Structure 1
Amino acid sequence: MRTKNLLNELVNRENQDFFFTIMNHLPNPDKILRRTGKTIEAYRDLKNDPHVWSCIQSRKSGLLGLEYTIAQNNSDSIVVKFIEDIFNTLDINQIQRDILEAPLFGYQPIEVMWKQTEGQRKFLVPTGLIAKPQEWFFFDTKGNLKFKKSAVPEGIHPPPMKILNVQYEPDYLNPYGHSLLSKCYWAVTFKNGGIKFWVNFTEKYGMPIILGNYTRGASSEEIQNLADVLADMAEDSVIVSPSDINIEMKEAVRFSSISLYKELIKFCNAEISKAILSQTLTTEIEMGSLAASQTHFKIRKDVILSDIKLVEKTLNKLIQWIVELNFGNIQCPSFKLILNDSDNSQKIERDLKISQTGMIRLTKKYWMNSYGFNEDEILEL
């Protein structure tokens, strides 16, 4: 049996689409963008919706309130101190916000701005991380990120250690990742349409109808003058008329249609909440059982944990670059976000019970990795 055929990839993108193979440009397979003919900028416009913005802020705030630590991971203490000093100069809060744009758009390229320090030994350190617009980038048929340039239609590969490419649930078919805002597109569109019709409905039926009675022998000019006066009354709520002209105000007939608009908007908001937060209760407080509330908050915690992994993975890639550029291929410390004590209470209680049995001894490395302790903060008894 020949093993040569086993060592090569048999089925790939180049075999499937000749045109894109020639251009070496893999288009974004997002169905919304393809069907509407729009670019990813259309998703950025969705942030103008108050409920979308509220959900985004709610999702990000679940992570932004957490503190972080640089875990040693058996790396040299000098390297740990070096990384800590660098991270103290960076706007970690804004960097985390930028990283969390990836779930919204599917991917988020972040450019690392480096500078060389002065002194006897020169170091390369990041001075800032800048999130760049997604539409400035694309993926080639091999799934590699490239940035667009007007004079280079095939695009340019960014240099190594320059662009942190944050992707949310990418796969072989879709290196652009899965956009949560894509899932909100039609909900926001239908919601805006419902609000537009609701406003028209309110203008038409929200104001009372002003009825002016004129005598049968009135001329066309007199009738028109009366109509003009009534129109002015609708604006100013003031009218002066002769005693022989009868003016009445009748309430507009109420229709059940108003409840349809409310239900449509409520439904669309619920769909938006589910797309971004995976649940609805934390943004739409209503009467409900305690069990339902606990389920929703557990889902929210799971979303936060997912975002934590995304942020940690991205910043640990940055740490890897820093260490490699300045110290070579050695063990790297890691960036870890620390959950609140209330979130860790069950795990802490379990670990204490295990330790107290005396049958299992949790290692120093376990305490460092689980709770973010540094080696010099743990005193062995």
Structure 2
Amino acid sequence: MATTPLVDQYGRPISSRSLKKEQADVNVQAVHRSSSLHPATGLTPPRLARILRDSIDGDPELYLALAEDMEERNEHYAGVLGTRKRQVSSLEITVEAVSDDAADIRDADLVREIVERDVFRDELFDILDAIGKGFSATEILWDTSEGDWRPKAFKWRDPRWFRFDHDNPEMLLLRAPGGDEPLNAFGWITHFGKAKSGLPIRGGLARGAAWAFLFKSFTMKDWAIFCEAYGQPLRLGKYGAGATDEDKKKLLQAVASIGSDYAAIVPDSMLIEFVQAKLSGSHDLYEQRANWLDQQTSKLVLGQTQTTDATAGGFATSKVHDGVREDIEQADCRQISATLNRDLVKPLIGLNYGPRRKYPIIKIGRPDEVDVKQLVENVAKLVPLGLKVGMSTMRDKIGLPDPDEDEELLVPTSATKQDPAEDEEDQDPDPDEQQDKPSKARAFRSLPAQRPPDAYDRAIDGILEDEGWVPLVGPIIEGLEEELADATSIDEARAMFQRRLEALGVTALADKLAQASFAARVSGEVGEDVD
């Protein structure tokens, strides 16, 4: 029987040979001059517009370098972007098996082995670099030294090493020494931070934050000039009519030294005065403008401002927010989970066990609020009635891992003591109630009480085997289902039963029950099959 070949999301076959070496190796790194690109220096509105336009036309290198500069030079943007990435990367990570089949559970355990590594959350933080820049490319370094495939590391690669394919603007290409080349199938985790619809390069937050970054840099520069010019008094040096050029030079040097060294010496014939600056305008305009631009950045990245900016009533309203607005957090979790299921789970299972019709699922996010006590009580009541519940599903719901093969297990025991009152009831049960109301002990063990049938049991069985009772209750049940279907209230249904019971041949039914009771009593008198 032919086996299904392994292919990636683009339908390309897998080359195991190419996966055993780094694609973005030292040769690729050597050809890039990324460290020398700092477009934030001397940035102007026309230059920013050109950088953004070029990134759409196929050359995103300067735009990606600018996005990196923004995180280094704008503390607020770096803070809120880091908050958004850290919040997602710190949430609970769960792995769900496709079913309780042994092979499916083995697949899920393999994925758990990878995501439970100590460094995985830091690697996840790097993958989320796509939130700011629009995409991230993380190379999977595979280890096959022990005969199977295990990722030994997930390496973040500088986004400036990549560009998008001209014919397929959603496919990344690596800028290699010999020209652009496709990424190895099953060798990369490519994540797209989709903040808006459109091309992946336009989906990152850095595009929107770039304009606030530019205008804030102008504001900060003007603010610095203002503080230098008006933040300290004017130093005015005066010299006499007979001062020489050398005297004037010394006086100027002394005035300048006071501004930096706070010390200077001048002759008695010279005078230095300090003139206090008198400001007629509002000098807090720069701070207000910088804060307003920061608030717009907070809205862009976090969806709110209360947890980052000091506003009236901010403490009370910030209690509603948890760093990142809930809908944004959920969207990030859905996107990163889908990426990991495509670029990590499928390669990991496929390379080790072959292709699957369905694969385990990684889910990242806050766990659903589950009332564990109520869940366990409901399952304990419904399983004896026939409800089928998977063990792995229940373990996931209550937060318990699958037990190891050699681990000691908790098991139910028949030695568990019941309430004394319940034990007494079980020892001497009422025969009539025993048929309709089994004890709690038997219900939870799902095992009926074992005893030989007595005269009462045989009497009841005899009635059931003797079909002579059928015509006695026929008037009650004949056509009852159709009549109840037309009932519009419980009172109407009760009246229907009352009419049918009145028409029942009660005398004949009572005679039948009396015969059975008398037969059981006679058997009891002679000691037949009585416990």
TM over 0.5: yes
Q: Secondary structure at the match of 1:282?
A: coil
What residue in structure 1 maps to residue 220 of structure 2? 195
Structure 2 residues not aligned, in runs of 5+: 1-48, 404-408, 413-443, 445-531
Q: Relative contact order: is structure 1 or structure 2 higher (C-alpha 8 Å, sep ≥ 6)?
A: 1
Q: Is the 8 A contact 2:51 2:63 kept in 1?
A: no
Q: Secondary structure at the match of 2:191?
A: strand
Deviations 1:310-345 (A, max 9, x none): 3322222211211122212334222233527xxx4x
* TM alignment of 1:1-381, pairs within 5 A: 33-34=52-53, 38-48=62-72, 49-74=74-99, 76=103, 77-89=105-117, 91-118=119-146, 122-140=147-165, 141-142=167-168, 143-152=170-179, 155-169=180-194, 173-214=198-239, 217-219=241-243, 221=245, 222=247, 225-240=250-265, 246-288=271-313, 292-294=317-319, 296-297=321-322, 300-317=325-342, 318-330=344-356, 331-337=358-364, 339=366, 344=368, 347-348=369-370, 352=374, 364=390
Which of 1 and 2 has greater Rg? 2
Q: Is the 8 A contact 1:107 1:177 kept in 2?
A: no
Q: Is the 8 A contact 2:140 2:187 kept in 1?
A: yes
Q: CA deviation at 1:128?
A: 1.3
Q: Is the 8 A contact 1:33 1:40 kept in 2?
A: no
Aligned partners of 1:264 and 1:354: how far apart in 2? 57
What amino acid does structure 1 have at the position aligned with 2:109? K
Q: Is the 8 A contact 2:140 2:189 kept in 1?
A: yes
Q: Is the 8 A contact 2:196 2:203 kept in 1?
A: no
Q: Secondary structure at the match of 1:190?
A: helix
CA RMSD of aligned residues (A): 3.8
Q: CA deviation at 1:369?
A: 6.7
What residue in structure 2 maps to residue 13 of structure 1? none
Q: Is the 8 A contact 2:128 2:193 kept in 1?
A: no
Aligned partners of 1:366 and 1:182: how far apart in 2? 43
Q: Secondary structure at the match of 2:325?
A: helix
What amino acid does structure 1 have at the position aligned with 2:301? I
More strand by percentage = 1
Aligned partners of 2:328 and 2:375: how far apart in 1? 28
Q: CA deviation at 1:299?
A: 5.5
Q: Mean Cα displacement is larger for which, 124-133 or 231-240?
A: 231-240
Change (3 A) 1:378 1:273: farther
Change (3 A) 1:327 1:241: closer
Q: Is the 8 A contact 1:338 1:371 kept in 2?
A: no
Deviations 1:84-134 (A, max 9, x none): 33344462112211121111111111111112243xxx3222211112122
Aligned partners of 1:237 and 1:290: how far apart in 2? 43
Q: Is the 8 A contact 1:90 1:128 kept in 2?
A: no
TM-score by length of 1: 0.75
Deviations 1:142-174 (A, max 9, x none): 33322222323xx22223211221112288851
Structure 1 residues not aligned, in runs of 5+: 1-29
Aligned length: 341
Q: Is the 8 A contact 1:168 1:177 kept in 2?
A: no
Q: Secondary structure at the match of 2:184?
A: coil
Q: Secondary structure at the match of 1:176?
A: helix
TM-score by length of 2: 0.55
Q: Secondary structure at the match of 1:286?
A: coil
Q: CA deviation at 1:214?
A: 4.7
